[in-house]
Amino acid sequence: MIWSLSDIQMLGSIHDLVSVDPTNPYIKACYKGDGMTITVYTSNKVVLQGNNVSQWLDHHPSIAKLVEHQSSNDTSIISTFPQAGSDEVGTGDVFGPVVVSAVYVDSTMLDQLKNLKIDDSKVIDDQTILSIVPTIMSICPYSVLVVDNPKYNTMHQKYNLNALKAILHNHAYVKLKEKIHTLPPLCVVDQFTPEASYYRYLNGQTNIIHGLTFKTKAEHQFLSVACASLIARYTFLKAMDQLSEQLDIPLHKGAGKLVDQDIETIIERYGFTMLHHVAKLHFANIEKVRTNHA
Ligand code: MG
């Protein structure tokens, strides 16, 4: 995030930060605290990193407020690293899997990620996603879970959609933890249900990741969530391509009129039961044709 000059000057007067000499010409100032570093770039971009950032912000409400305020403005991505984030896609699409991803980002990865211009994830089109995501995958440790349609349809009989999402996000963090051994203090879920409900849905699960942070529209505020959203979307797009190829029908995303046409074509060519394998059966699009074919 970019800070104002007076905000940056305030950093110099904080008693538990020590000013250290910048290590490269793009760094204007650098402050070290216990288990954390604050770097001020010549662009006035400020990056907070280290394992104690969250605790430190608890003791410095004025800075925390600044971080919060900056992150609520859509154009900035919260700069507290390391961080992990998770997001899901496919829940609003009749065809194709539900995909959940969790991604770890630390400050050593920022320069490489910056070149990909991920900050604008909300406006990134499918073609760009296909071209940049392999690079994100090569930079950041990540986990990705794909729930194909047969599995989704079975699970959906047992769990409601939010319960299903909670189980998947939790599992994505379990998988990410297996890769990086320790999750960072800041792990952000793109919020789909309040925190209390999230953990209630996980009752009975064997391995539950606690201490997550829940934020709505998190993909616009946290680079790790933006990356998770992109990796999930990429995986979803690839799966849709594969299904389209298998059926020899270019399947549409979403749940609109074009999807209704695709459903008719599938039933015509392959019969209703094919929908079990390629579609989410609880959608109204399927319900309205079910009576004629089931
Ligand atoms: Mg989301």
The residues, any chain, with a CB within 8 Å of residue 96's CB and separated by 6 or more, are: 90, 149, 236, 239, 240, 243, 251, 253, 278
25-29, 45-49, 65-69: least confident range: 65-69
For the stretch 156-166, pLDDT in tens is 999 999 999 99
Between the CA of 185 and the centroid of ligand 1 the distance, in Å, is 21
| Position 72 confidence tier, pLDDT thresholds 50, 70, 90 | very low
Average pLDDT over residues 100-114: 92
Q: At 28, is the secondary structure helix, strand, or coil?
A: strand
Between the CA of 33 and the centroid of ligand 1 the distance, in Å, is 34
**pLDDT reading at 63 higher than 90:** no
Tokens of 202: 């996980």
Between the CA of 79 and the centroid of ligand 1 the distance, in Å, is 20
For the stretch 228-248, pLDDT in tens is 999 999 999 999 999 999 999
What is the pLDDT, as a whole number, of residue 22? 84
Between the CA of 133 and the centroid of ligand 1 the distance, in Å, is 17
Average pLDDT over residues 39-65: 83
**How far, in Å, CA of 274 to CA of 287, rounded?**
15
Mutual angle of helices 149-158 and 161-180, in 10-degree steps: 120
Average pLDDT over residues 136-146: 97
Between the CA of 226 and the centroid of ligand 1 the distance, in Å, is 10
What is the pLDDT, as a whole number, of residue 73? 45
**pLDDT reading at 74 higher than 50:** no
Question: Nearest 5°: phi and psi at 101?
Answer: -130, 150
Between the CA of 90 and the centroid of ligand 1 the distance, in Å, is 10
**How far, in Å, CA of 96 to CA of 14, rounded?**
52
Average pLDDT over residues 104-123: 80
**How far, in Å, CA of 292 to CA of 235, rounded?**
33
**pLDDT reading at 175 higher than 60:** yes
